[in-house]
């Protein structure tokens, strides 16, 4: 079967006070010209754009440059961690998330993102601990339930995984990744018919949802329906 689907969160963060003070001509720990402030803002836009369009190597360069300007801004470290995860640089990403958490221990996003990196390294229990921490901060975080379900699936605890994925869907009924993950867990628990039915529902509702189509194809093939499996590929 296909693997479960994780969520990473890009953290917008706030403009550091020193930048705003410099732009307003107010005294602060760092004095930057208006031109420098604009240059940094442009760099941040480029970093987000590259991250969102899959230019992860270039995005990493931009986030690194921003970190050089403002190493105490937790969001910058978390976002660089995200693009490193996307390049499978998991150990480097983990270091970035650790730094983000050290700078902003009460923010949930770097814990969620660190959990994804830990999953990639097969450190399931540590990932679960991070997602559980996110849920302690925000009990209605559907992404945290989805990702915790994936980590529990990684441990082979499919019943607990299903419970988490179903909770994610309950919180966000349009969360397609959580729905396909719930169906995958159902499949692993022996509910082949129900899982295939849900995969079909998802492919009808989201015709371009390649992950649901791949899951449907795999399930049909294993169920001995190669003709229909091939027609859905």
Q: What is the CATH number of the domain that holds 76?
A: 1.25.40.10
Phi, psi of 85 (to 5 degrees): -60, -40
Q: Give the separation between CA 13 and CA 98, rounded to whole angstroms.
A: 16
Instruction: Give the closest residue to 189 by CA, choosing from 166, 217, 213.
Output: 166
Model pLDDT, residue 221: 85
Residue 5 belongs to a domain: no
Tell me what pLDDT residue 6 has: 56
Mean pLDDT of all residues in the chain? 88
Please check whether residue 229 lies inside any domain of the structure.
no
Mean pLDDT to the nearest integer, 157-176: 98
Report yes or no on 187 lying in a domain: no
Q: What is the pTM of this model?
A: 0.82
Report the alpha-carbon angle 211-215-217, nearest 5.
115
83, part of any domain = yes
Query: Does the residue 84 lie in any domain?
Result: yes
Length of the chain measured in residues: 233
User: Closest by alpha carbon to 51, among 108, 99, 11, 92?
Assistant: 11
Those residues with Cβ within 8 angstroms of residue 97's Cβ, 6 or more apart along the chain or in another chain: 77, 78, 81, 110, 111, 113, 114, 117
pLDDT tens digits along 22-43:
444 444 445 678 888 888 899 9
Range of the domain at 80: 17-157
Average the pLDDT over 59-80 and give the result. 96
More confident residue, 5 or 63: 63
Q: What average pLDDT score do residues 111-127 get?
A: 96
Q: Tell me whether residue 163 is in a domain.
A: no
Q: Is 202 part of any domain?
A: no
More confident residue, 32 or 69: 69
pLDDT (mean) for 121-142? 98
pLDDT band at 223 (very low <50, low <70, confident <90, very high): confident
pLDDT digits (tens, 9 = 90+) for 7-26: 666 665 544 444 444 444 44
Assess whether pLDDT exceeds 80 at residue 45.
yes
Cα separation, 151 vs 166, whole angstroms: 15
Cβ–Cβ contacts within 10 Å for residue 212, how many? 28
Domain membership of residue 181 (yes or no) is no
Tell me the C-alpha to C-alpha distance, in Å, between residue 49 and each of 11, 36, 37, 87, 191: 13, 20, 19, 16, 41
pLDDT of amino acid 220: 86
pLDDT at residue 73 in the model:
95
Instruction: Give the chain's domain count.
Output: 1
């Amino acid at each position: 079967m296909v693997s479960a689907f994780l969520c990473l969160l890009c953290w917008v963060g706030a403009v550091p006070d020193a930048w705003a003070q410099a732009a307003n001509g107010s005294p602060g720990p760092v004095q930057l010209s208006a031109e420098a402030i604009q240059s940094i803002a442009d760099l941040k836009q480029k970093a987000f754009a590259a991250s969102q369009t899959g230019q992860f190597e270039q995005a990493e360069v931009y986030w690194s440059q921003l970190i050089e300007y403002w190493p105490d801004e937790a969001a910058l470290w978390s976002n660089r961690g995200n693009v490193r995860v996307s390049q499978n640089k998991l150990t480097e990403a983990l270091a970035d998330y650790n730094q983000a958490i050290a700078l902003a221990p009460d923010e949930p996003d770097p814990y969620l993102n660190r959990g994804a990196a830990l999953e990639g390294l097969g450190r399931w229990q540590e990932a679960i601990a991070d997602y559980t921490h996110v849920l302690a901060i925000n009990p209605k975080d559907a992404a945290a339930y989805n990702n915790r379900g994936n980590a529990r699936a990684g441990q082979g605890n499919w019943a607990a995984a299903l419970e988490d994925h179903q909770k994610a869907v309950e919180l966000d009924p349009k969360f397609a990744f959580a729905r396909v993950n719930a169906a995958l867990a159902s499949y692993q628990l022996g509910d082949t018919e129900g899982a295939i039915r849900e995969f079909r529902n998802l492919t009808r509702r989201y015709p371009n949802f390649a992950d649901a189509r791949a899951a449907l194809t795999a399930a049909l093939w294993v169920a001995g329906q190669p003709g229909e499996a091939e027609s859905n590929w």
